[in-house]
Amino acid sequence: MTALGTGPGGPGGTTPCGCGCGGAPAPDLPTGSGSPAGPCDGGPCGAEELPAHPFLALRVAFGMLLGEDDFRVLMGNPRGKLMLHQAWQHGPGVVWGLGLARTGDELAVLPGLAVDGLGRELNLEARWCLSLARWAKDWAEEHPPQATDTAARPAPRTGADAGAAASADAEPAPPLRRTAEAWITAEFASCPDRPVPALADPCDVTRRHDDWSRHVETARITLQARPPEPWSPYHRVRVLLGLEEAGEADPAGREALAEAAAVAREPAHLRAPALLAAFRRLAARDATAQAPQCAEGDACPPRAPVPEERGGVLLARLTVELTEYDGCVRVEDVRVDPDVRTALLPTTTLQELLCGLAPGLVGVAAETDAGGPRLIRDSLVWSREHTVLTFEVTAPLAPGCAEPEGVEITSLSDGGRGWATDEVAQIGISADGRRVRVDLDQRPAHETVRIRIRGTGPKPLYGSSPRAPFAGPVGGPPGTPDEGHDAVVTVHLPRPAAPGRTEP
């Protein structure tokens, strides 16, 4: 991987990054390119490549002469495997620290550790500081005022007003107020360290007799105009769990929505295994479709999930209110939002969080459903001017179990006349026991109709095989052999206009 630059702190070095460029503190970060100025500008930092060869290993034999390239392969194999694992299996994020603190004009990023999008550790050992006043001045110079920024200024005077103003002392223009925004990002950096005597390379025209013996890996802090694009793999799984929405032209997302709907239709005691099965199916398809993101012009796919330019770790969003007046820039209000960062949780914490959900799942799974018939919600149909209601159930009903008390229908007036009880004349069951017909004496009296199919009480609907009471709607809680559940459905049936009708 390419060494990108420098950053403060380094083990074994006598200077902030160990490259021998002096111990002066790094100047403040300029705006624009997002690349920091540091104590190593113009020095060796960023000129080396750290070996990372996850699929190339050294095979030694007795008497083999080992050269520099052999040792680079030897160190590059475990390093490359670790980076590959961290990038794909964990993703980018903050491991610990890297908090932010403001003291007067100074904004500081505190020491901490993160992992970037290429799987490299970003180790910040010393505070990184930024002068807000200097950054604001640079930002204002690089972002000239636009028409929308000057809208708050008073309009120029015309006619008599202009003449009067010309004769009077010119009033100073009001200050211009603007909002500057930047995204604080951590990136990988490295520096060579500890020069030692070495044999001169015959091919080196400079005939150097020393070389660097260490590589210090650290982090540099940059301010970007835009946040790093998040890495969000496994789109199907995210849609299944409600973390993302499916787009219009999104076959993968629509597929996940269908799976989520199928899981929701399962009885409560079967929903957990159904969700697990759907999760595994969609995760397998997501993993098959997953691929590294290639930068433009790449001849072959890289090993990391994201290209180098997208490997940074977002730490915070910086919002600064500025006042500009006669070439002077003053910082008014500063807001730092670290909640935009992604944190990497340890496996032990994830295990404990998962166990926190176990009581709910175990409690549901412990209740075994007796298998009583359930209402298929979409099967309700009204006919004969809303005097006949039919619906279907998931299992056959026992002959003779359907009595008028098994279905209750009431209606509520939209005009404030209250509730009415609508009499059920008779209930019939089809030959296969899966379809129920409810005949009313007349259509429901009012517009809001509430249908209650009884699985409880002295005379509920009852299943024939298995012999169990009606268990409620599909997807409801489990029923027992002794007591089921009611299914309640509310519909709106507008009353037809009738000649001479005066009721509200």
Distances (CA, A) of 495 to 32, 363, 410: 68, 45, 15
> 3-state SS of 139-196?
HHHHCCCCCCHHHHCCCCCCHHHHHHHHHCCCCCCCCEEEEEEEEEEEEEEEEEEEEE
Strand 435-440 and strand 128-131: pairing?
Answer: unpaired
Per-residue pLDDT of the chain (504 residues; tens, 9 = 90+): 333 233 333 333 333 333 333 333 333 333 333 333 333 333 344 445 688 889 999 999 999 999 888 998 999 999 999 999 999 999 999 999 999 999 888 999 999 999 999 999 999 999 999 999 999 989 988 888 876 665 444 444 555 555 554 444 555 667 888 999 999 999 999 888 898 888 877 777 777 778 888 888 999 999 999 998 888 899 999 999 999 999 889 999 999 999 999 998 887 778 888 999 999 999 999 999 998 887 676 666 678 898 888 899 999 999 999 988 877 888 889 999 999 999 999 999 988 888 877 666 555 555 688 999 999 999 999 999 999 999 999 999 999 999 989 999 999 999 888 999 999 999 999 999 999 999 999 999 999 999 999 999 999 999 999 999 999 999 888 899 999 999 999 999 987 765 544 444
- Could you tell me if 141 and 163 are in contact, meaning their C-beta atoms sit under 8 angstroms apart? no
pLDDT at 300: 62
CA contacts within 13 A on the Cβ side of 469: 20
Which residue, among 55, 39, 124, 14, has the nearest Cα to 303 in the 3D structure?
55
pLDDT at 338: 95
pLDDT at 25: 36
- 9-32 burial, b for 16+ CB within 10 Å, e for fewer? bbeebebbbbbbbeeeebebbbbe
CA-to-CA distance for 405 and 322, rounded, in angstroms?
Answer: 74
Tokens of 319: 């919002």
144-203 pLDDT tens trace: 887 666 544 444 455 555 555 444 455 566 788 899 999 999 999 988 889 888 887 777
- Could you tell me if 325 and 176 are in contact, meaning their C-beta atoms sit under 8 angstroms apart? yes
pLDDT at 501: 47
Length of the chain: 504
> 3-state SS of 288-347?
HHCCCCCCCCCCCCCCCCCCHHHCCEEEEEEEEEEEEECCEEEEEEEEEEHHHCCECCCH
pLDDT at 64: 92
State the CB neighbour count (10 A cutoff) for residue 293.
Answer: 15
Helix (H, G, I), strand (E, B) or coil at 280: helix
Q: Long-range pairs for 344-347 at CB < 8 Å and ≥24 separation?
A: 344/90, 344/91, 344/93, 344/94, 344/95, 344/115
**Residue 489 identity (one-letter amino acid):** V
pLDDT at 472: 94
pLDDT at 250: 93
Helix (H) or strand (E) holding 408: strand 407-412
CATH T-level fold of 377-492: Immunoglobulin-like (2.60.40)
Which residue ranges make up each domain of the chain?
Answer: 235-289, 377-492
447-491 pLDDT tens trace: 999 999 999 999 999 999 999 999 999 988 889 999 999 999 999
Radius of gyration of the chain (CA): 36
